[in-house]
């Protein structure tokens, strides 16, 4: 008789601290998560702006997934420069995103904010939390990353077309 996994077996939480880890280390964790995809990766990122080293790691994992036949889709916020005190508008690297070679679409941050930060892998596992995909978020800010496994559930970005 098999028992159902416990919540602690389905949920992993990591707290990032200011200066407590290197951005490249988090990028490697992202790459490891992405490399586990067999069928799909659906990414929604409020801000996706990485330095060359971390872009090569995380972006490389996205490219590698697409190259091995994983269906990858990505949406990201494109805020505006009008005075909005909090939160500051994202500065997604559209050139980096386009270089990944996967379907992608910007979501206008007007009038609402697309503040998501998640990846759904194969419709079963989610990488999410408060961290944007930026070097500062991964190395200089207090953030939480949670990985939730739900093999019996089906998750996706939904009807958003990239």
pTM: 0.83
Strand arrangement of the beta sheet that strand 11-16 belongs to: 11-16, 143-149, 125-129, 117-121, 40-45, 71-78, 104-108
Q: Would you state the torsion angle of the CA atoms of residues 154, 158, 159, 162, taken in this order, to the nearest 10 degrees?
A: -110
User: For 128, how many CA atoms within 13 A lie in the half-sphere containing its CB?
Assistant: 15
Beta bridge partners of residue 49, listed in sequence order = 134
pLDDT of residue 155: 46
| Nearest residue to 117 (alpha-carbon basis) of 7, 8, 16 | 16
| Nearest residue to 146 (alpha-carbon basis) of 7, 14, 10 | 14
**∠ CA(140), CA(49), CA(121), 5° rounding?**
95
Reported confidence tier of residue 9, pLDDT bands at 50, 70, 90: confident
Counting runs of H as helices and runs of E as strands, what totals does the chain give? 6, 9
CB-CB neighbours of 109 under 10 Å: 19
Q: Where are the domains of the chain?
A: 23-149
Instruction: Say what angle helices 60-67 and 23-35 make with each other, to 10 degrees.
Output: 10
Q: What's the CATH code, domain 23-149?
A: 3.30.870.10
pLDDT digits (tens, 9 = 90+) for 107-157: 876 666 778 899 999 999 999 999 999 999 999 999 999 999 986 654 444
pLDDT digits (tens, 9 = 90+) for 19-66: 999 999 999 999 999 999 999 999 999 999 999 999 999 999 999 999
């Amino acid at each position: 008789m098999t028992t159902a996994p416990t919540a602690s077996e389905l949920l992993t939480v990591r707290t990032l601290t200011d200066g407590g880890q290197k951005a490249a280390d988090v990028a490697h964790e992202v790459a490891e998560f992405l490399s586990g995809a067999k069928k799909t990766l659906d990414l929604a990122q409020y801000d996706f702006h990485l330095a060359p080293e971390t872009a090569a790691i995380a972006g490389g994992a996205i490219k590698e997934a697409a190259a091995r036949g994983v269906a990858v889709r990505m949406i990201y916020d494109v805020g505006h420069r009008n005075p909005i005190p909090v939160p500051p508008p994202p500065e997604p690297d559209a050139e980096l995103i386009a270089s990944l070679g996967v379907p992608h679409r910007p979501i206008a941050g007007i009038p609402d904010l697309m503040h998501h930060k998640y990846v759904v892998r194969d419709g079963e596992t989610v990488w999410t939390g408060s961290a944007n995909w930026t070097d500062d978020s991964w190395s200089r800010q207090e953030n939480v990353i949670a990985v939730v496994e739900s093999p019996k559930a089906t998750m996706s970005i939904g009807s958003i077309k990239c």
